[in-house]
Chains A and B, each alone.
Chain A
Amino acid sequence: MTLTAGVIGVQGDVAEHAAAITRAARAHGERVDVIEIRRSGLVPDCDLLSMPGGESTTISRSLRREDIAPEIRAHVAAGKPLLATCAGLIVAATDAGDERVSTLDLLDVTVERNAFGRQRDSFETSIGIAGLDEPFPAVFIRAPVITDAGDTEVLATWDDRPVAVHDGPIVGTSFHPELTDDSRLHGFTFFENPSSEPSPQSP
């Protein structure tokens, strides 16, 4: 049984997510077909979804214009897994604190855009993530932080601020797990998450 993985592809580091999903699937003995989603009609066929990093203003506009936004909501409402990273997290949140971004209200958190500053303040580091044994390489690029995590489960913090959260089928991160070869978070979200609708199992 081959799963269909969708990467929201209107803008951002789409190929990087596609590669990370493929790696995570291989590590879990799953087979996936990865498709790029730039227009409506494709999300309903997807068993799992990634919303990549990029510019949240640009991505949120395109999702509405191309009518992809309601399909992503339906995907999550059906309990299917979604990984939203950086700009993806901002778009998935209920409150981005910025009217230039129209959020999808999937994840009940408030985020602050560019919370660490400009690109010169961007950094890479190593953080502990709940549920992962070894530290995780985290790349923060003009990254948001979660200023109010609501009722979500906080998986990781940096400087006492939440940077990764988990709520049912959704995992959201401030950083970019797709930028390194470590695909454990993709694996957790898509293949180990007990609170998402069980994906069709491979033999």
Chain B
Amino acid sequence: MSEPTDLEDLRRGTDLVKRGFARMQQGGVIMDVVDAEQARIAEDAGAVAVMALEAVPADIRKRGGVARMADPGDIQGVIDAVSIPAMGKARIGHTTEARILESIGVDMIDESEVLTPADERYHIDKRDFTSPFVCGARDLGEALRRIGEGAAMIRTKGEAGTGDVNQAVSHQRNILGSIRKLEGMAHEEREAWAREHEAPAELVHETAEMGRLPVVNFAAGGIATPADAALMMFHGCDGIFVGSGIFGAENPEAMGRAIVEAVNNWDDPEALAEIATDTGKGMQGESNADMPEEQQLQGRGV
């Protein structure tokens, strides 16, 4: 390829480029897939991106043991199968898995609590990467700590693989509630809030002034039906991750299409009724209301 004429002015991996990529996902559904065939089904259903992993969270939960990054060859198969972006999951703090994902051309890296954390104290220093990252958060302090480390997108940390949306709702409410509180605070109160939550003060002020997170904020964890997806949009999310909810359903094609349409029509109950009709049985799921803490994934990497 010939050299661009003003190549010296070309900048990759800047915050604008990384956060910009995340912005392009807004209003979309990102679907978990385990192989190229599922990736094609997801693309045909209207997914805005696919997340390549070794097993969907419901299976990871059932199987137990250590959950790791998927086989790079399998991820490559997913990348090659679709024209939409392909994302991949690395363990929390596993800088090397993330470097491998970046080297094979994954478009976004999910530093994910669904996998077994590799570092008990630190997350990946994401500012160093050209690839953008998405990280989970249960509250505003956690979200701003991750953005401070370089995350270009935040998602809720709903209990993955349960098909129970209540934790995703709770995290989203925590985040929005805290932003509303910050908006009403004086400068020095925001500074104190930043210290108390170990969040970068600059980001605390920015969030308070914008009245929202400075990066895109998606819902993830436990979203199993078109109505769940629409509910998370109602709660102000910018888009949706669906894990086990698509390929754990009786008819993944129909469920995938219905969830995509539900996100677009989240505020129209009549349309939602039509969309949710005849989509087949959703994933079975398990209530997480009284799930023992040791079985919960959301407490990993805070």
Given contacts A66-B264, A123-B10, contact A113 B24 (CB under 8 A): no
Q: Are A58 and B28 in contact (CB-based, < 8 A)?
A: yes
Given contacts A57-B83, A159-B5, contact A87 B264 (CB under 8 A): no
Q: Are A13 and B11 in contact (CB-based, < 8 A)?
A: no
A23 in the interface (beta carbon within 8 A): no
Q: Are A141 and B11 in contact (CB-based, < 8 A)?
A: no
Complex CA distance for A48 and B186, rounded to whole angstroms: 40
Given contacts A124-B17, A141-B21, A142-B21, contact A11 B2 (CB under 8 A): no
In the complex, which residues of chain B have a beta carbon less than 8 angstroms from the beta carbon of A98?
83
Q: State the interface size on chain A (CB cutoff 8 A).
A: 44
Given contacts A13-B24, A58-B260, contact A38 B11 (CB under 8 A): no
A195 in the interface (beta carbon within 8 A): no
1/0 contact trace for A46-82 toward B, CB 8 Å? 0000000111011001100110000000000000000
B121 in the interface (beta carbon within 8 A): no
- The distance from the CB of B62 to the nearest CB of chain A, in whole angstroms, is 31
- The distance from the CB of A108 to the nearest CB of chain B, in whole angstroms, is 23
A2 in the interface (beta carbon within 8 A): no
Interface of chain B, main secondary structure: loop
Given contacts A57-B46, A159-B5, contact A10 B16 (CB under 8 A): no
Q: Are B46 and A123 in contact (CB-based, < 8 A)?
A: no
Band of interface residues on B: 35 or more
Q: Which residues of chain B from 174 to 220 have a CB within 8 Å of any chain A CB?
A: none
Q: Are B131 and A13 in contact (CB-based, < 8 A)?
A: no
A179 in the interface (beta carbon within 8 A): yes
B290 in the interface (beta carbon within 8 A): no
Which of B63-71, B102-110, B111-119, B293-301 touches A?
A: B102-110
B282 in the interface (beta carbon within 8 A): no
A168 in the interface (beta carbon within 8 A): no
Which of A26-34, A114-122, A146-154, A185-193 touches B?
A: A114-122
Q: Are A118 and B107 in contact (CB-based, < 8 A)?
A: yes
Q: Are A139 and B27 in contact (CB-based, < 8 A)?
A: no
Complex CA distance for A63 and B37, rounded to whole angstroms: 26
1/0 contact trace for B1-27 toward A, CB 8 Å? 111111001111110110011011111
A9 in the interface (beta carbon within 8 A): yes
Given contacts A58-B46, A142-B21, contact A11 B131 (CB under 8 A): no
Complex CA distance for A122 and B11, rounded to whole angstroms: 8
Q: Are A14 and B17 in contact (CB-based, < 8 A)?
A: no
Q: Among the listed A16, A39, A58, which residue makes an inter-chain contact with B265, where contact means beta carbons less than 8 Å apart? A: A39
Given contacts A54-B48, A87-B24, A125-B6, contact A120 B131 (CB under 8 A): yes
Given contacts A54-B48, A119-B107, A124-B17, contact A142 B85 (CB under 8 A): yes
In the complex, which residues of chain A have a beta carbon less than 8 angstroms from the beta carbon of B83?
57, 98, 100, 113-114
Known pairs A13-B24, A55-B28, A86-B24; list 15 more (Cβ under 8 Å).
A13-B26, A15-B26, A16-B23, A53-B23, A55-B25, A55-B84, A57-B84, A120-B107, A120-B131, A124-B14, A124-B17, A125-B6, A139-B20, A141-B20, A180-B16
A-B contact pairs, 8 of them (CB 8 A): A10-B27, A11-B28, A53-B23, A57-B43, A86-B24, A114-B83, A124-B10, A179-B23
